[in-house]
Structure 1
């Protein structure tokens, strides 16, 4: 269960203020249809994080424990630093099109999550923990915990949310994961 809880916590906190959370706000403000948006986020996240988890599992199988320890430790520390940088929605990522809200959300979230810090964290967590299902379930639940309120509340609550504080807390969690990986693995 450790893999599940660590993955859930790391991705939940890491997602606050992330570009995909901003995308959730944008979709909610534009389409005002929370159910297909939430369903689209879920499907895109399961697919994206399952692929990320399989990559992490493959990395774990290919590296000796000492190398894995260093790579994971440094990766988590880099993600901690990256977390301190606020995400902004880029103009070309704004959602356009004539497709259904569910499909637009699936595609937009899947693409936006590619190479994102929470996807890379999922790769690292799957490399650290041997239970792929728990990592993917935890990271998916973490994405949903962070994004469902953004969809439901839309832009109403976002100006008052302490994104900066949450970024610092998230960076601290990733830094602790990095230090723990360096000190305990292998």
Structure 2
């Protein structure tokens, strides 16, 4: 169950203040139809994170467990630092898509916004670290929903009240803890 719960927590924290959360807020304000937006987020995230998880699972097969732990530690440190930088949403990402309706607009915009995003990178790393690929994808998708569904449902009210700096710092600490755990694993595997 660790393959489900850790990715859920990590992605939920990393997603707070992320550009896709800002996108969810923008879509909720423009369409005012939460359920098609939520289903668009689910579909886009599953597709994106399934591909990212497959890459992570595949990459893991090329390295020894110790080497993979060192790579994961460095990657987690990089994502921890990246998490501290606030995201901004480019209006160009969502402009022109509104004509497709809330579901398709959300599906396309979220899928594109997640490309190369820290939560996609985290999904690659988590899939490389945990053996249960499907649980990792389910966990990262659940984490996206935990962070984005309240924003869609509450609109501007919730986004204005969240302590984003504190949440980004907590997410960075979580990634830092994962980095330390990966270093510990690398050292114990190297000594064995």
Give the TM interval when normalised to the shorter protein: over 0.9
Find the aligned partners of 1:108 and 1:90 in 2 and give their Cα distance.
11
Matches within 5 A, 1:100-115: 100-115=101-116
Aligned-pair distance for 1:66? Answer: 2.1
Find the counterpart in structure 1 of residue 137 from structure 2.
Answer: 136
RMSD of equivalent CA atoms: 0.9
Aligned-pair distance for 1:95? Answer: 3.5
Matches within 5 A, 1:118-129: 118-129=119-130
- The question of whether the paired residues in 2 share the 8 Å contact of 1:95 and 1:104 is answered with no
- The question of whether the paired residues in 2 share the 8 Å contact of 1:56 and 1:125 is answered with yes
Aligned-pair distance for 1:96? Answer: 2.5
Matches within 5 A, 1:163-174: 163-174=164-175
Q: Name stretches of at least 5 consecutive residues in structure 1 with no aligned partner.
A: none
Find the counterpart in structure 2 of residue 42 from structure 1.
Answer: 42
Q: How many residues align?
A: 186
Establish whether residue 5 from structure 1 lines up as the match of residue 5 from structure 2. Answer: yes
Over 2 Å off, 4+ runs: 94-97
Find the aligned partners of 1:94 and 1:136 in 2 and give their Cα distance.
25
Find the aligned partners of 1:85 and 1:95 in 2 and give their Cα distance.
24
Deviations 1:38-58 (A, max 9, x none): 000000000000000000000
Deviates more, 1:60-69 or 1:133-142: 60-69
Q: Name stretches of at least 5 consecutive residues in structure 2 with no aligned partner.
A: none
Find the counterpart in structure 2 of residue 16 from structure 1.
Answer: 16
Establish whether residue 161 from structure 1 lines up as the match of residue 162 from structure 2. Answer: yes
- The question of whether the paired residues in 1 share the 8 Å contact of 2:150 and 2:158 is answered with no
TM-score by length of 1: 0.97
